Amino acid sequence: MLRELGESTLARALLAMLRHDVHDHTEWPLELEEFLSLVEAAGFEVVETILQTRMRPHGGFLFGRGKVEEIAQIVAMEDIESVAVYNVLTSMQKFNLQRALGVPVLDRYEIVLQVFGKEARDNVSQLQLELAALKKSYPYIKVTESERLIRERPARLGGRGPGEYAYHAQLRQLRKRIAKVSAELAQYREEHRRRMHKRRELDVPMVCLVGCYNAGKTSLFNALTGADKEVSDRPFTTLASKWAMTGNPEIFFIDTIGFALDLDPELISAFQLNLDDMRGADILLLVVDVSDSFQLMQMKMRSALEILHGTGIDESRILIVLNKTDLVDPEQAAEVADFIDATYGFSSVLVSAAKEWNLTHLTDCIRHLFEVVGVNLVN
Ligand SMILES: Nc1nc2c(ncn2[C@@H]2O[C@H](COP(=O)(O)OP(=O)(O)O)[C@@H](O)[C@H]2O)c(=O)[nH]1
Ligand SMILES: [Mg+2]
């Protein structure tokens, strides 16, 4: 299909998802919608969406062969430039899909990386991102190159051909780069730990804001500390953590990276410096967008709690902050708060960071939780 002049210059993407839980009828549309906003934030215009329901993912292609052919036809007819897959692909699946479709295929891991990459301006974030990308590309290069060598082998007369040497050299290069980036990050991490230790010696308690992107962490951070950081509805504007101290009571607030639904553990593990901030804080405010649908809100909470749990954070140190109450009916907000208190056993506070509603009460709740976890405050 020919594109009209003046049409969007964003790369045209097809979005594909494999649903393997055939009993789930309500979560996948929300997951797909969240993914769509990520793909758009990564700089694509989504022009087609393909869904397949299949109990067992195809080992080689993720999708069944018939579905792959259908996607290939749409890619050709609709002038699609990239395919974004919701599911995390194995290197083999990515390789096979790219060969079958003839366009780049990016999975959720890579889409998130691409979005992160747009925002990463500081050194630490860039290195953490590079490490996450390298971890993904190393096995992929192994697969693509070994496939290529197998195809070329019959033409050769035994022994290693030049292609094979180049392949091993490329892998060696990648391993060297991974080692170098890891070493640099280890240094930054050490320095970061020293700095945290110094702050700890000041005896000022630390509160870290966590939650999914767009929940309003940075807005709340600004409202609580009077800082003026960029607030955005683009995902992941905050990569490296930011610190600010308040007086009366003296508290260090830390604004850190946002989570997304179902983040890959490998990807999360690349952001150790941000995780250190979460681990090092005395308490954590899990900021939740109360204007999301009830189900999406719970899915996001679950995702965030899983990450915090995996990071070794004790649940007793978490306070749930239900933000954006200005966007919902007060009764509805109160019901959500009651539900969360009853279901998850966390205390929650209703606030609006934008309108600065209920922040004094939030500070009281923070003081109370400090007492519970045994932190002394200096006024
Ligand atoms: N209506 C309303 N919008 C808010 C509130 N808090 C944040 N926002 C908006 O939500 C979006 C994301 O906010 P941000 O603080 O960047 O979220 P973060 O990704 O969690 O740091 C921005 O467009 C904010 O203006 C709030 O209390 N009420
Ligand atoms: Mg932010």
Q: What integer pLDDT is reported at residue 167 of this predicted model?
A: 82
Token pair listed for 24: 């789930």
Looking at residue 1, what is its pLDDT?
Answer: 45
> What is the Å distance from ligand 2's center to 83 Cα?
28
- Per-residue pLDDT, averaged over 163-186, amounts to 90
- The span from the CA of 74 to the CA of 87, in Å, is 19
Strand partners, 1: none
221 CA to centre of ligand 2 in angstroms: 9
Q: What is the mean pLDDT of residues 122-135?
A: 92
Q: Write down the H helix ranges in the chain.
A: 27-41, 65-77, 91-101, 108-119, 123-152, 162-201, 217-225, 265-269, 272-280, 294-310, 330-344, 359-373
Nearest CA among 123, 94, 92 for reference residue 111: 94
The conformation of residue 263, written as its DSSP 8-state character, comes to -
Say what angle helices 359-373 and 217-225 make with each other, to 10 degrees: 90
Amino acid in the structure at residue 172 = R
Report the pocket of ligand 1 as residue ranges, CB < 6 Å: 211, 213-219, 231-233, 237-238, 258, 323-324, 326-327, 352-354
Q: Which residues contact 327 (CB under 8 A, 6 or more apart)?
A: 290, 291
Q: How many residues does the chain have?
A: 379
Q: Phi and psi for 83 in degrees, rounded to 5?
A: -115, 125
The mean pLDDT of the chain is 90
Percent of the chain surpassing pLDDT 90: 70
> Does this model's pTM top 0.75?
yes
CA of 91 to the centre of ligand 2 (A): 32
- Looking from the CA of residue 213, the nearest atom of ligand 1 is 19
Report the nearest-CA residue for atom 12 of ligand 1: 214
Question: Would the pLDDT of 44 be above 90?
Answer: yes
143-161 mean pLDDT: 71
Residue type, 32: L
Mutate to test the pocket of ligand 1, among 116, 119, 219 (most ligand atoms within 8 A of CB): 219
Q: 42 phi and psi, to 5 degrees?
A: -75, -5
329-353: average pLDDT? 94
Over residues 18-42, the pLDDT tens digits come to 999 989 999 999 999 999 999 999 9
26 Cβ contact partners less than 8 Å away, ≥ 6 residues apart:
295
**CA-based torsion, 102, 51, 302, 237: positive or negative:** positive
Residue 329 alpha carbon to ligand 2 centre in Å: 25
Query: In Å, how far are 31, 69, 282 from 99, measured between CA atoms?
Result: 27, 12, 50
Report d(CA 376, CA 205) in Å as an integer. Answer: 8
Report residue 149 as tokens.
Answer: 């060598």
pLDDT at 200 over 70: yes
- The Cα–Cα gap between 58 and 305 comes to 31
Cβ-contact 229, 222 below 8 angstroms = yes
Q: Is the pLDDT of residue 221 over 70?
A: yes
Task: Identify whether the C-beta of residue 16 lies closer than 8 Å to the C-beta of residue 50.
Answer: yes
Weakest-pLDDT range from 40-54, 116-130, 276-290: 116-130
CB-based burial of residue 255 (10 Å sphere; 0-12 exposed, 13-18 middle, 19+ buried)? buried
